[in-house]
Chain A
Amino acid sequence: MILALARASLVRQRARTLLAVVGVAISAAMLLDMVMLASGMRVSFGSLLLAQGFQIRLAPKGTLPFDTDATIPDASGIVQRLRARSDVIAVSPVLGAQLHVEHGTASVSAAALGTIAAVQGDYKLLEGELPAQDEEIAANDALLAAVGAHIGDTLRVAAGFDPQLRAYTGQRALRIVGRAHFIYLSAGERAMALPLATLQSMEGSSRTDRASLLMVRLRAGADVEAARAAIERDVRTVSAISTATAIEQVEQRLSYFRQLAFILGTVSLAVGFLLVTTLVTVSVNERLGEIAVLRAIGVRRVRIVEQILIEGSAIMLVGAFLGLGLGLVTARYLNSILAAFPGLPEAIDFFLFQPRDAWVALGLLAGCGILAGVYPAWRGASLPIAATLREEAVA
């Protein structure tokens, strides 16, 4: 009966109930998006970092992986030292460089990763073989498309130019043996992988036995933080970064988005709350007489409170469900905008849907829906019956 009354009062003002639902849906969509934004980067970056099972990354002292052009000296010595540790099962040294691929009269530049194919964790082979032998490469689709090459072709690749000699330096003929997808590169970035030694020798003396990054995979169950600290103590030329720290550092840099998510999320919640409170308050004000009559014929206060809270929550919930759908659509759209972020791995999602997000958004909205009804419900439940009826009679 009380439910029927709550429903009836929503249906009675169809236009504005509908509008409020739409308003709440938009707020809810925004809220969901912001909840997704707040945690999406962390989660997708974390899973990206752990995708290949390397828990620790060693970068030149004081830098973040690939943040600068600095390199780590004595890479092979460090690899050996790390391998000797009982908790380490694999070490993957990586050297990054920019190479120039001859293409007709011009050249196409591409990111190059020098790795040891057997332990590398930077790319996934899609087709062909791993570039394990000297002068073999695996290229990604963007590079293959840019130079119109296929597996089996040979590319002329240079490490740089010498303006004085007017010639390429570190030039080699490299054979494409595989097609690969590079996990940490951004979409559309041209890239190739080649044996570490090949790249080091192409780059010349400045890169002899150097690596930009060393990735370390620990034995299952090993204490990551303890290993990290020990490595940093042991190898003075590197900063050892655990996945957690790396995520934290990325988050710090992109903290703007989390703060934005927090602020916009709060604002959307507040807007939804205001909308529903206003609506329910006005609707209760219009029905003060009815409520007084209900009270006069013996309807308990809790019933009045119930009715009003149901009204607010119903708007919120219906709006929220619509909003969750809408939110997923807008999140995809917003994500596609941010995907163009320069230098960000393709696989990073700013907006990542997790069921938990939907629950959080729904919970917040439901809480707000109930809160929105609190003031009008209190007003409705505590009104003086006789005086209200009298005023109603005068009006």
Chain B
Amino acid sequence: MTGDEILVAARDLRRDYAMSAGVVHAVRGVTLDVRAREYVAIVGPSGCGKSTLLNLIGAIDAPSSGTLAIAGQRLDGLPDRDATLFRLRRIGFVFQRFYLMPVLTALENVELPMSEAGLGKTERRTRARELLAYVGLGERLHHRPTELSGGEQQRVAIARALANKPALLLADEPTGELDARTGEEMIALFERLNTDGTTIIVVTHDEDLARAAHRVVHMRDGLIVDDRRR
């Protein structure tokens, strides 16, 4: 428990999907506060709305109702332009399937968000090298994703997520595609990131990963049913 300010403030957040078969209520009124430097794991059965909630927090999806503020910035009703800029500067996203650009090298993948943010060539190259060294990939800068193992790809993805020094790192099942050993390395990496000051929200059903977090939020049927800190 730290005395840091509230970074994520969600109030009665809802997300409905209008389907032909009827409306799906994926998130049905979530209220959640996350403080800076926290390490939160969201767990729960498949289909309970974890990813949907994470997408809302990451501003790649918009809530049907409720309010959401991150670092004082209201995200509900934010125009696409601003939401995009917000994602670029404040959010780092790590996906289960890495989602690297297949045509770019590891280094270029990490440089991509910095280039979009307008960083100079040498500056972003230096930082990309540092980041890849930080995640333990200093040797494989010029490899393309297809030439990297799953664990290595996920490290590149994490380096990319950290590129613009985000306020918040979001990860959706980051160990889902990895074998147990690589998964453990990833867990260690997340812990190190958090220790170094990154706020992390991770969606997982990997027990080990959840156990590593300082706070575990349980969801069921689109609602938070349990929220405990350790």
In the complex, A touching B (Cβ < 8 A): yes
- A residues adjacent to B (C-beta < 8 A): 1-2, 4-5, 8-9, 11-12, 289-290, 293-301, 303, 384-386, 389-390, 392-393
Bound together, the chains give a CA A389 to CA B60 distance in angstroms of 10
From A1, A8, A12, A389, B112 is in contact (CB under 8 Å) with A1
Minimal beta-carbon separation of A285 from chain B (angstroms)? 16
Instruction: Establish whether residues A289 and B99, one from each chain, have CB atoms under 8 Å apart when the complex forms.
Output: yes
Contacts of A2 in B (CB 8 A): 115
Instruction: Establish whether residues A301 and B80, one from each chain, have CB atoms under 8 Å apart when the complex forms.
Output: yes
Contacts of B111 in A (CB 8 A): 1
Does B65 count as interface, using CB distance less than 8 angstroms? no
Contacts of B55 in A (CB 8 A): 385-386
Contacts of A1 in B (CB 8 A): 108, 111-112, 115-116
Does B43 count as interface, using CB distance less than 8 angstroms? no
27 residue pairs bridging A and B, Cβ less than 8 Å apart: A1-B108, A1-B116, A5-B103, A8-B104, A9-B103, A289-B99, A290-B99, A290-B101, A293-B99, A293-B101, A294-B112, A296-B93, A297-B87, A298-B113, A298-B117, A298-B164, A300-B84, A300-B88, A300-B116, A384-B61, A385-B55, A385-B61, A386-B52, A386-B60, A389-B99, A392-B97, A393-B97
Bound together, the chains give a CA A289 to CA B99 distance in angstroms of 8
From B52, B61, B80, B101, A5 is in contact (CB under 8 Å) with B101
Instruction: Establish whether residues B103 and A297, one from each chain, have CB atoms under 8 Å apart when the complex forms.
Output: no
Contacts of B103 in A (CB 8 A): 4-5, 8-9, 11-12
Instruction: Establish whether residues B95 and A298, one from each chain, have CB atoms under 8 Å apart when the complex forms.
Output: no
Known: A4-B104, A386-B61. A300 touches B112 (CB 8 A): no
- Chain B interface size, as a band, is 20 to 34
Bound together, the chains give a CA A392 to CA B55 distance in angstroms of 15
Q: Chain A interface mostly helix, strand, loop or mixed?
A: helix
Minimal beta-carbon separation of B16 from chain A (angstroms)? 13
Does B218 count as interface, using CB distance less than 8 angstroms? no
Bound together, the chains give a CA A385 to CA B116 distance in angstroms of 18
Among B144-190, those with CB < 8 Å from A are 160-161, 164
Bound together, the chains give a CA A293 to CA B99 distance in angstroms of 7
